[in-house]
Amino acid sequence: MLNLKEHPQRRYNPLTGEWVLVSPHRLSRPWQGQVEDTAQEQRPAYDRDCYLCPGNLRAGGVRNPRYTSTLVFDNDYAALLPGTPADTINERDLLIASGEPGICRVVCFSPRHDLTLSEMSVPEVRAVVDVWVEQYRELGARSEVNYVQIFENRGAMMGASNPHPHGQVWATLDLPNEVVKEQQGFTKFRMAHGNCLLCEYQKLEESSGTRTVCGNDHFYVVVPFWAVWPFETLVLAREHVSDFGGLSNEQRDSLSAILIRLTSIYDQLFRAPFPYTMGFHQTPTDGNSDHEWHLHAHFYPPLVRSATIRKFMVGYELLGMPQRDITPEVAAERLRAAAGHVKRWPAAARSEIPPG
């Protein structure tokens, strides 16, 4: 019989309809590749050369206000522009392109240059969550915006151009590829089973506990069965909430607390501040989506085996399909072990799930 701990296997992702190759027997493989310098990064609370710090001049020539909590502004070097014509070019169904108007904004999480989410308080992160809710509602209400993508790149390894704590909001006319795949996954599951894919998946994971990392009254963290990144996690709303607009005050506090808890666990397992890409998926704002969506966030850290070794998609992963050596079960076990050494435990996260 197939042994998930030993045998090479394919695992199916019902959200995207794609497969990932898992090779647990390769964990004993020696490593002689690139090793990263992960020396602790020392940063001041205020950096006069940082274009995101309060009162400083940004690259685009605008001076930041002396903000004391969060700051939102249109990206000075936006990847999307609101005035772009949405025309389509099609030459014999071979050369196809369409204009993509949109809006890109930056969200500074704190005036402090030296903080990360894991080092902020629940009220401080709650202020960030409130901004995300406001941006989702404001941008999503525009007729030319059909999807609002909220995300954070942390660390130079993940392409962050500035260490100041900040994230981004991109509002687009068309639904991004991953969102389209997830919407198809949600719809397919509901048509086949009559209920929500992630509601049922959460029940299944909690009954096992094998891949559980942590949780509180309103949010639950798991290493997904189909994970691709070495220590990838999925943050799920416990109740069936489709988007930020449906979060209560209590749920916003719980989301703030679980983000602090999870990033603190990552800091413990690796070294603070660890690199990652994080982003939320939720209901598109195109008016065509019903409530099959379930609010969730993806965390994608590139570090593997130790804080010094990273892994991106190469070789067979680019040409064939994603492949991983560390199984989701092993990753979850290591994250839970790290959680036991984390001293910061926000009050809103005290109902943490014990290891399964």
Where along the chain do its domains lie?
11-349
Containing 260, the helix (H) or strand (E) segment is helix 249-269
pLDDT of residue 356: 39
Q: What are phi and psi of 102, to 5 degrees?
A: 180, 180
CA distances from 333 to 212, 220, 355 (A): 8, 16, 8
pLDDT of residue 280: 97
pLDDT of residue 273: 74
pLDDT of residue 319: 63
pLDDT of residue 90: 86
pLDDT of residue 41: 65
Sheet containing 323-324, strands listed edge to edge, beginning at the edge strand earlier in sequence? 9-13, 18-22, 323-324
Question: Which residue is catalytic, options 166, 281, 296, 298?
Answer: 166
- Tell me which residues of the chain have a pLDDT lower than 50: 32, 349-350, 353-356
Q: In the structure encoding, which two tokens stand for residue 34, read together? A: 């690139």
Torsion angle (degrees, nearest 10) of CA 107, 109, 112, 114? -100
Q: In the structure encoding, which two tokens stand for residue 337, read together? A: 């072990």
* Residue 166 among the catalytic residues: yes
- 256-305 pLDDT, tens digit per residue, is 999 999 999 999 988 767 889 999 999 999 888 667 899 999 999 988 76
- 133-164 pLDDT, tens digit per residue, is 999 999 999 999 999 999 999 988 787 888 99
CB 178 within 8 A of CB 228: no
Can you give 100-150 as a three-state secondary structure string?
Answer: CCEEEEEEECCCCCCCCHHHCCHHHHHHHHHHHHHHHHHHHCCCCCCEEEE
Spatial distance between the Cα atoms of 229 and 99, rounded to a whole number of angstroms: 32
pLDDT of residue 27: 61
Spatial distance between the Cα atoms of 288 and 11, rounded to a whole number of angstroms: 31
pLDDT of residue 354: 43
Cis peptide before 273 (omega within 30 of 0): yes
- CATH top-level class for 11-349? alpha beta
pLDDT of residue 232: 95
Count CB atoms within 10 A of the CB of residue 312.
Answer: 10
